[in-house]
Amino acid sequence: MLALAWMTNLYNFMDGTDGLAGGMAVIGFGAYGLAAWANAPALSMTCMAIVGAAIGFLAFNFPPAKVFMGDAGSIPLGFLAGALGILGWREGIWPVWFPILVFSPFIVDATVTLWRRLLRGERVWQAHRQHCYQRLILAGWSRRRLVLVAWALMAAAAVTALFARSASSALQAGALFVWLVIYMGAWMMIERRHD
pLDDT tens by residue, 81-121? 999 999 999 999 999 999 999 999 999 999 999 988 888 88
pLDDT at 51: 99
Please give the Cα distance from 154 to 151 (Å, whole number): 5
% the chain with pLDDT above 90: 84
Q: Where are the domains of the chain?
A: 2-194
* Sign of the torsion angle spanned by Cα atoms 14, 107, 129, 189: negative
pLDDT at 127: 74
- CA 15 vs. chain centroid, Å, equals 10
Is the pLDDT at 194 greater than 80, yes or no?
Answer: no
Is the pLDDT at 195 greater than 70, yes or no?
Answer: no
